Amino acid sequence: MKEKTDDFFMRNTELSTEFSKYILDHPEMDNLLTEEKVIVFLPEFDQELKEFNLTMAKEIEAGGGKVVYVKVKQLSPKIQSRLVGVEIGVKQR
pLDDT on residue 34: 77
pLDDT on residue 92: 67
Instruction: Tell me the sheet residues that pair with 69.
Output: 40
Rounded CA separation 68/86 (Å) = 41
Rounded CA separation 14/42 (Å) = 13
Top-ranked range on mean pLDDT: pick from 4-13, 34-43, 72-81: 4-13
Q: Where are the alpha helices (DSSP H) in the chain?
A: 2-25, 47-62
